[in-house]
Amino acid sequence: MANLLMIESWLQSTGLMLPPLLRDGGHSYVLVTRDPDLYRLPDGEPHPVLALASEVAIAETNDDAALVAAARAVAARRRIDGVLTTCDYYLPAVALVAERLGLPGAPSDVLRTATRKHRVREVLAAGGVPDVPFATAATWAQAHKAAADLGYPLVVKPVDMNSGTGVRKVVDEAGLAVAFAEATTPERNTRDQPLERLALLERVLEGPEYSVESVTRDGVTRILGITAKSVAEPGVEAGSGFVESGHLFPAPLAPRERDAIERHVIAVLDAVGLTHGISHTEVRVTAAGPRLIELNPRQGGGYIFELVRLVTGFNPLQVLVDLALGRGPVPGPSVAASAAVTFLLADADGVVREVRGAQRLADDDRVLSHETPSPGREVRPGDNNERIGHVLVVDRSGHDAKAWADELAAGLDLVVDVAALTHG
């Protein structure tokens, strides 16, 4: 049995699944958090992150010195074998604590680079890795000049947010003004950490999108697989965003395409200097070859971690634990030849009145999990945080999972009252 430090956590998805995985593996963990009350369910009951912790250590997790001191205090009274988190915003902190305690992990300076989108672009340029033209802007004048130099259309994004927050496609100056303000106005993220308030402007990449799940240990990267991603492309209105509408694993790729994507991702990880950790790297395959969208030094979200487990037997959350303990990943049983998830998206701002057809999802043995919005829920198009439900499907012997998931999701009838939000 191992004892771990968990430095904060997401509340949904991986945050819900990691605590029972640790418990069922015979491990215990100390939750280090600045605010235990954050880990409460809507009914007031403790979130699994809180409920399954063997101890809760309260510390200012947004202050490196205070966090390291708290970690050392815990390690002085009980053995600590590894440090981890599911929350992107604390990945550099996890690396720093692991360094100071002499535990497995990536170099903290590498994680500080890998979690800042503009710094990743900079090291790719320095390393000669083919990449998209880009610029950064802290002021409107800088953004205006960068757009003139790069040319429209552009993607504009904050350098230090996650889940597609603030990522906008712009086609003219009016859209640029909206996107630049959205990227640079917020002063703090949802965990009260200060933001750089810096916009990254990138030339738009054309081509199909994929994500690559990989494990790096002792500087050697192993590709677990490639996911094909469906993206709801934004319209031309100012401030329109990208939303991932579905995923299919494994991606239907020819060997030459797969090899090119894998080689590019390994080059990206090598340029960044990632020698230890799990990563979720998003790319588009353009006419000039694969190009990076974003590097995420963590497991994939949006149920990708579950699709990978179902098909390969590698549970990315278990891999996260193994890496934190200095172990190599070991696969479990696989149960499907392909797996897919289709997300439910709102067409417009409104309030859900009814969802028709959900019962047939419960009766379909191809469906492993599904979620539909409850009546009364406010919905709106936006980033990945605004997805309102999902249908996750497996094909145990073939490659029809995505077609089935899309068909089942399309069979749902979401009755949304647009006027309720417009006039309510």
| Cα four-point dihedral sign 87, 91, 96, 97 | positive
What mean pLDDT do residues 261-270 have?
98
Query: pLDDT at position 395, please?
Result: 97
Residue 144, SS3? helix
What mean pLDDT do residues 358-384 have?
82
Percent of the chain residues past pLDDT 70, beyond the cut: 95
Question: Which DSSP symbol is given to 194?
Answer: B
Describe the strand order of the beta sheet including 82-84 as a list of residue ranges. 55-58, 28-33, 3-7, 82-84
Asked if residues 303 and 143 have their Cβ atoms less than 8 Å apart, the reply is no
Query: pLDDT at position 51, please?
Result: 97
Tell me the two tokens of residue 200.
């990254």
* Bridge partners for 395 per DSSP: 338
Pairwise pLDDT comparison (165 vs 132), residue with the higher score: 132
Asked if residues 322 and 329 have their Cβ atoms less than 8 Å apart, the reply is yes
| CB environment 93-110: b (16+ within 10 A), e (fewer) | bbbbbbbbbebbbbbbeb
Query: pLDDT at position 234, please?
Result: 47
Query: pLDDT at position 26, please?
Result: 97
Residue-wise pLDDT for 195-248, tens only, equals 999 999 999 999 999 999 999 999 999 999 999 998 775 444 434 556 788 999
DSSP string, 199-240: EEEEEPP-S-EEEEEEEEETTEEEEEEEEEEEEE---SSTTE
What is the rounded distance in angstroms from the CA atom of residue 307 to the CA atom of residue 36? 31
Residue-wise pLDDT for 84-99, tens only, equals 999 999 999 999 999 9
What mean pLDDT do residues 91-120 have?
97
What mean pLDDT do residues 130-159 have?
98
What is the rounded distance in angstroms from the CA atom of residue 16 to the CA atom of residue 23? 12
Of 361, 363, 366, 341, the closest CA to residue 413 belongs to 361
pTM comes to 0.90
What mean pLDDT do residues 244-273 have?
96
Pairwise pLDDT comparison (406 vs 385), residue with the higher score: 406
Query: pLDDT at position 259, please?
Result: 98
Query: pLDDT at position 239, please?
Result: 43
Residue-wise pLDDT for 148-173, tens only, equals 999 999 999 999 998 778 899 999 99
What is the rounded distance in angstroms from the CA atom of residue 271 to the CA atom of residue 222? 16
Residue 415, SS3? strand
Query: pLDDT at position 301, please?
Result: 83
For residue 66, pLDDT over 80 is answered with: yes
Mean pLDDT, the chain, rounded, equals 92
Q: Which domains does the chain have, with CATH numbers?
A: 3-103 (3.40.50.20), 133-204 (3.30.1490.20), 205-333 (3.30.470.20), 338-423 (3.90.1170.60)
Query: pLDDT at position 235, please?
Result: 46
